[in-house]
Amino acid sequence: MKSIKMLRNYLLVPALFMLPVLKMQAADASGATTHEIPSREVIAHMTKEQKAARLEEIKTRVNEIKAMDRSTLTKEERKALRGELRDMRREAKAVTGVYISVGALIIIILLLIIII
């Protein structure tokens, strides 16, 4: 009886701690690709036509993803799609730039008037 407990302590417990490591390695080896967001320098050097073309590519890919039957995808594939959509949203924001709303512009002007 004591030898079974010792066997469990020396073999089973370390094996249980190794399972998450093996799962992570299997996920890395599964071939999941990541979408790289271009740097600000690359986006700054793009022409308006290149930016418009890239935005059109992003819109096309988003529409493809929306049209997919995601119920047949595995958990890892759905996770990869979410990551791809998140990256494309960030890239689209970087390409289009930052816009100030009218309300924010009025508040900024009022603050400048009060300060000056």
DSSP the chain: -HHHHHHIIIIIHHHHHHHHHHHHHHHHTTT---PPPPPHHHHHT--HHHHHHHHHHHHHHHHHHHHS-GGGS-HHHHHHHHHHHHHHHHHHHHHH-----HHHHHHHHHHHHHH-
Question: What is the pLDDT, as a whole number, of residue 11?
Answer: 63
Question: What is the pLDDT, as a whole number, of residue 105?
Answer: 87
Chain segment 13-57, per-residue pLDDT in tens: 566 565 555 444 444 444 445 556 667 677 777 888 888 888 899
Question: Are residues 15 and 70 both part of a single domain?
Answer: no
The DSSP string of 49-67 is: HHHHHHHHHHHHHHHHHHH
Provide the token pair at 68. Answer: 């997919």
Question: Are residues 42 and 75 both part of a single domain?
Answer: yes
Whole-prediction pTM value? 0.52
Confidence of residue 63 (pLDDT cuts 50, 70, 90): very high
Domain boundaries, position 18: 1-31
d(CA 12, CA 105): 64
Tally of domains in the chain: 2
Question: Are residues 80 and 47 both part of a single domain?
Answer: yes
